[in-house]
Amino acid sequence: MKPTCLNQKELAERWTISHRTLERWRWAGEGPVYMKIGGRVVYRIADIEAFERDVLNATSDQGAPAY
């Protein structure tokens, strides 16, 4: 069964960034949507993938030819 959520360390590993970066993004209101359940921060896979698409579109739209 595929996981439906990742914790902070798992997401940091997926993106090869520091888990502290995710903490800073949450504090600043940036980054992917997250949930806090029982004191634990978790990120739904669907929200992670949506954030990745948004970031990809934001960067690839710059200078990309319009079709």
Q: CATH classification of 5-59 is 1.10.3470, yes or no?
A: no
What pLDDT sits at residue 56? 85
Q: Is 33 helix (H, G, I), strand (E, B) or coil?
A: coil
Residue 9 pLDDT class (50, 70, 90 cuts): very high
DSSP codes, 42-55: EEEHHHHHHHHHHH
Alpha helices per DSSP H over the chain: 8-15, 19-28, 45-60
List of residues 6+ apart from 2 with CB closer than 8 A = 45
* Contact of 54 with 17, CB cutoff 8 Å: no
Edge-to-edge strand list for the sheet holding 35-37: 5-7, 40-44, 35-37
pLDDT tens profile 17-56: 999 999 999 999 999 999 999 999 999 999 999 999 998 8
Residue 61 pLDDT class (50, 70, 90 cuts): low
What pLDDT sits at residue 28? 96
What pLDDT sits at residue 62? 63
